[in-house]
Structure 1
Amino acid sequence: MSDYHILYAPAKINLFLKVTGKGADGYHSLFTLFQKVTLFDHIIIRKAEKGIKLSCPQGTVPEDERNIAYQAASFFYKVTGLSPGVDIEIRKNIPVAAGLGGGSSDASCVLNGLQDLYGNPCARDNLSSIGSKLGADVPFFLEPYTMAIGRGIGDRLEPISSPPPLWFVLISPCFPVSTKWAYENLTLTTRKNLFIFSPEHVINIEQFLHNDLEEVTASQYPVIHTMKEYLLSYGAEGALMTGSGPTVFGLFKEKEKARLAYERLRSDSDWAVYLVRSL
């Protein structure tokens, strides 16, 4: 069994996100559709003599217990009773605090990587429980499927079998948005907003793009609207902010149209632009 693993942590987008309520514990309940995409952080995990050491060469994330990937390793050792001994290196490609789930994906990669390194000492249910404690997106990243409906806080998952191939152009305006801030500033209403989605609707997903958090973030950062307008003018079938933002995606069903939009945006703007496809 290897003492060294290189893992790839994908980003995700929310193809829709409805906030359906708020529990007594302060957590919001969601109805969302997760999609993994081909933008990856690289995670290198090595067995070490003792302790947990985390590094990020770019210096874009904390390298201590404030990092969710570090917390994942700590939980793993506590649950399994194993003595801590791992070096974790995170090479970031996914923008930080951008609505793309990069931290959650890194944490899930660390959990799955430690499972492999130690011969699967943690029961699957325990691993999922760790994931839920770390963050609402982590359980989705722990699973092998690439698209799923999320309910509860996002941890009750219904996988979508045979999802359609999709292309996306992502625009990140290179400033962070706090998920906590977005939810704290969301006004929940009692009016009934009918939103019905079932797995067979995924073939026409462009008709279901909606994000309750977009209005919150865009009220503070109007550039969200500008980025959407660019994507639609360049041929996207739909455009939406993902998660709590500020990243916006344009959805394309044809690779060539997505590529052309990507090239135009790279030349016409100073934003970080990514061409990705669904996993």
Structure 2
Amino acid sequence: MKETLSLVANAKINLYLDITGRRADGYHLLETVMQSVDLSDIVTVSLTGGGISAFCTNPDIPQNEKNICYKAAKLFFERTNSDRGAEIRIDKRIPDGAGLGGGSADAAAVLSALNTLSGLPLRAEELSELAARVGADVPFCLVGGTRVCKGIGDVVEPTNPLPKRFYLIVKPNFRCPTGEAYARYDAAPIPPRNRLEAFCNAGSRYHEEMYNVFEEIYADKQIFALKSALSSTGAIGSSLTGSGSAVFGVYEEKECAMSAAKSFPEMFTAVAEPCGSGLVTI
């Protein structure tokens, strides 16, 4: 049996994101539409005799038990009662602290790879349940495509297909820590928008229904300025993704998105296309 597997782990953007409440245990309840895009990391996983190690080409990412991929591997071995171990290498291209789900995508890749390398001990539903214990976006990243996600990320549902558009992702030179974002919401909750159904039924005009509650939570002039700048380059819509700090613009033509990227020379930019899966085995 093959002992090493490499996967492409795709980033995600949130086309719609709202907080609908909070559970008694403190977890926030979400309604979101996520879209996989072809900005990706490469995750290589090898089964070993024991122990877990994680290496990442981005030195700012933890290379120990604090790494989300380490957590994913540990939970997998515990769930399957395995005494095996794993060596994990992450070739990082998705920027961290951006709301693009890079860590979640990498963790999903680890779970998928370990399940395959171990002879598929977990069914798809069981793997998704385990993914939800790793992180809110991990169940989505296992399947990817265009999906509605609810609850704490554990409910992943298909939705109406969207017309193909191109996305210019721009990450400013600051981070938006997720914990701080939710703390701001808790201090001043924002009523749910209740426009998920409208978004899902908007068809080719979905960009007009895009929404991210964290834009209201932050009320950050830099984010609004970035959205305005994207609009001035021809974007038909723009939004924060996740809890930030990356913002994306929606373009009908790839050439327009590529040209617009030149307007942000001092920031991370990527022109991305939607894709139908979260993971691809190499």
TM-score, normalised to structure 2, is 0.91
Specify the alignment match of 2:121 in structure 1: 121
Letter in 1 for 2:207: E
Q: Please tell me whether residue 147 in structure 1 is matched to residue 146 in structure 2.
A: yes
Q: Secondary structure at the match of 1:265?
A: coil
- Given that residues 15 and 211 in structure 2 are in contact (C-alpha distance below 8 angstroms), is that contact kept between their aligned partners in structure 1? yes
* Counterpart Cα distance in 2 of 1:15 and 1:161: 13
Cα distance per residue 1:88-138 (max 9 Å; x no partner): 001111111110011111100000010111110123222111111111101
The correspondence of residues 158-169 of structure 1 with structure 2, limited to 5 A, is 158-160=157-159, 162-169=161-168
Q: 1:136 to 1:194 in 2, by over 3 A?
A: closer
Specify the alignment match of 1:39 in structure 2: 39
Q: Please tell me whether residue 110 in structure 1 is matched to residue 110 in structure 2.
A: yes
* Counterpart Cα distance in 2 of 1:125 and 1:80: 14
Identity %: 36
Specify the alignment match of 2:222 in structure 1: 223
Letter in 1 for 2:165: L
- Given that residues 231 and 239 in structure 1 are in contact (C-alpha distance below 8 angstroms), is that contact kept between their aligned partners in structure 2? yes
Letter in 2 for 1:272: F
Specify the alignment match of 2:85 in structure 1: 85
Specify the alignment match of 1:207 in structure 2: 208
Q: 1:163 to 1:189 in 2, by over 3 A?
A: closer
Letter in 2 for 1:60: D
Larger relative contact order (Cα-Cα within 8 Å, sequence gap ≥ 6): 2
* Counterpart Cα distance in 2 of 1:197 and 1:239: 17
- Given that residues 33 and 147 in structure 2 are in contact (C-alpha distance below 8 angstroms), is that contact kept between their aligned partners in structure 1? yes
- Given that residues 50 and 85 in structure 1 are in contact (C-alpha distance below 8 angstroms), is that contact kept between their aligned partners in structure 2? yes
* Counterpart Cα distance in 2 of 1:208 and 1:154: 21
- Given that residues 10 and 105 in structure 2 are in contact (C-alpha distance below 8 angstroms), is that contact kept between their aligned partners in structure 1? yes
Correspondence for 1:276 among 242, 258, 272: 272
Specify the alignment match of 1:232 in structure 2: 231
Report how many residues are paired.
272
Displacement after TM superposition at 1:161 (Å): 5.2
TM-score, normalised to structure 1, is 0.92
* Counterpart Cα distance in 2 of 1:230 and 1:248: 11
Instruction: Flag structure 1 segments of 5+ consecutive residues without an equivalent.
Output: none
Displacement after TM superposition at 1:230 (Å): 1.1
- Given that residues 171 and 248 in structure 1 are in contact (C-alpha distance below 8 angstroms), is that contact kept between their aligned partners in structure 2? yes
202-211 or 76-85, which deviates more: 202-211
Displacement after TM superposition at 1:189 (Å): 4.0
Q: Please tell me whether residue 137 in structure 1 is matched to residue 124 in structure 2.
A: no
* Counterpart Cα distance in 2 of 1:74 and 1:232: 44
* Counterpart Cα distance in 2 of 1:253 and 1:155: 32
Q: Secondary structure at the match of 1:197?
A: helix
Letter in 2 for 1:4: T
Q: Where do 4+ consecutive residues of structure 1 move more than 3 Å?
A: none
Cα distance per residue 1:6-32 (max 9 Å; x no partner): 111111000011111111111111111
* Counterpart Cα distance in 2 of 1:153 and 1:203: 28
Specify the alignment match of 1:95 in structure 2: 95
